[in-house]
Structure 1
């Protein structure tokens, strides 16, 4: 349901912290969207579903030209089939 702007900002900051940790480890989430953010009853925010994540330096598991993820949250470079980076996850968070 509806949340206050303050709570939305807190959730965004917590997801950003999770992305920073993932990016520091060389992992791109590639599917940041509201459905992949869980809120616990005690206020914890958890970024989930790293199913299509990509580890820096690894080869892609998807077919050439195939775009995976939720189109409404894809960064423009990903939608165009270009190489994503941490900024792609940040665009999706925004």
Structure 2
């Protein structure tokens, strides 16, 4: 991470970053740490097994991770939406 920060801080405002090098920095870090890239990020919404999200009627036409993350998950047949 320090390598990345040193590199980006050294860039001139009009200089185009070497994106291949920057990708390599993070790929190398992940490989050294033994991390696997599953493309599931911390900010992605993942429902708990057996839980159901109760959305207000106007929100049922889409599932927005930010919107659904503020709703409390309720078990099947639980009460309506409860906001955190």
- Shared fold (TM-score greater than 0.5)? no
Higher relative contact order (CA 8 A, sep 6+): 1
Give the structure with higher Rg (CA).
2
* Structure number having the greater strand percentage: 1
- Scaled by the length of structure 1, the TM-score of the pair is 0.24
